[in-house]
Amino acid sequence: MFNELNPLLHQQLRLSVMSLLMNVKEADFTYIREKTGATAGNLSVQINKLAEAEYIQVKKSFKENYPLTTCSVT
Amino acid sequence: MENEKSIMSNEESLRIIRSMIESTKQDLRDNGSWFLLWGWLVFAACILHYTLMGVGYEKPYLAWMLMPIGGVISFIKGLREGKSQKVKTHIDEFMKHVLIAFLVSLFIVLGFMPKLGLSTYPLIMMVYGFWLYISGGVINFRPLRIGGIINWVLAIAAFFVEFELQLVLLGTAVLLGYIIPGYILRNKYNKAVKLNPNSSKESYV
């Protein structure tokens, strides 16, 4: 009935990020880090993987002179 | 969290999905501040207008000068909240459009006040009812929905009464539609924050 889940999502942090983003319109990198409890480095790697697979969209901008990364589900 | 863990059991996957859904749910809290701000402002303006009419002041409608003050406060508050917002939910997006629809409807009514005459306040209450009922429905909060219904009922009643009584009805409408639900919402919010202090930082309103 259902297709097999992409192995890319068989990883705790990536699945957490996807579950989180499915529930909201968009979220900042810091918000995702707080919610998942991941380290910034690890989260950054996993977000890039999800973005490469086009599961999520990553928008980079600036907020009060600080870089701001916003993620949303494609 | 581990860097790579290729195989997870179904239970583990479900647990992760559930915990993430729960964690975002806690952020969909409204502390009632917008309802309290506008509720008290409109209520104060009604009382002031009524009192100034009572003492025979020439321009009692100047009481409504409180509204531009509210506009400035809202602008500053909105900017500050926007800056601290780390997440935008689907509800935020939906409510943004409802707010625009509400404000446009309200300004149309206010703009045509001279033409509408005694129908102005009933129409304002009707628009309030629309806003309150939808807000209450979206955040699943019954006192706001009831407040919306009360506003509609008072709007109908206001079509049949004199201007002075319309002021009293409008004051009652904001008291029951904005102020009381606003305090209940604030109470609920404070209780929830006490139980889970971390989630308060990302409250969406």
Q: Per-residue pLDDT tens for B141-151? A: 999 999 999 99
The partner residue sitting opposite A15, judged by closest CB among B13, B25, B90, is B13
In percent, how much of chain B has pLDDT > 70?
89
Which residues of chain A make contact with B90, given a CB cutoff of 8 A? 24-25
Model pLDDT for residues B59-92, shown as the tens digit of each residue: 999 999 999 999 999 999 888 887 777 888 888 8
pLDDT tens sequence across A3-59: 777 777 778 888 888 888 888 888 989 889 988 888 888 888 889 888 888 888 898
Q: Are B34 and B179 in contact (CB under 8 A)?
A: no
Which chain A residues touch B3 with a CB distance below 8 Å?
13, 42, 45
**Residue B5 touches chain A, beta carbons under 8 Å:** yes
pLDDT for residue B70: 92
Which candidate from B3, B6, B17 shows the least CB-CB separation from A42?
Answer: B3
B97-140 confidence digits (pLDDT tens)? 999 999 999 999 999 989 998 889 999 999 999 999 999 998 88
Structure tokens at B178: 């904005």
Number of cross-chain residue pairs from A and B with Cβ atoms under 8 Å apart: 73
- Domains of chain A in start order, with CATH, are 7-73 (1.10.10.10)
**H or E element at residue B145:** helix B142-158
Average confidence (pLDDT) over B169-182: 96
- In this predicted model, what pLDDT tens digit does every residue of B4-17 receive, in sequence order? 445 677 788 888 88
Distances (CA, A) of B192 to A41, B91, B135, B167: 32, 19, 20, 36
B8 has a chain A CB within 8 A of its CB: yes
Give me the residues of B, 23-52, that contact A with CB < 8 A.
Answer: 23-25
CA angle B70, B74, B75 (to 5 degrees): 120
| Contact flag B1-A12 (C-beta cutoff 8 Å) | yes
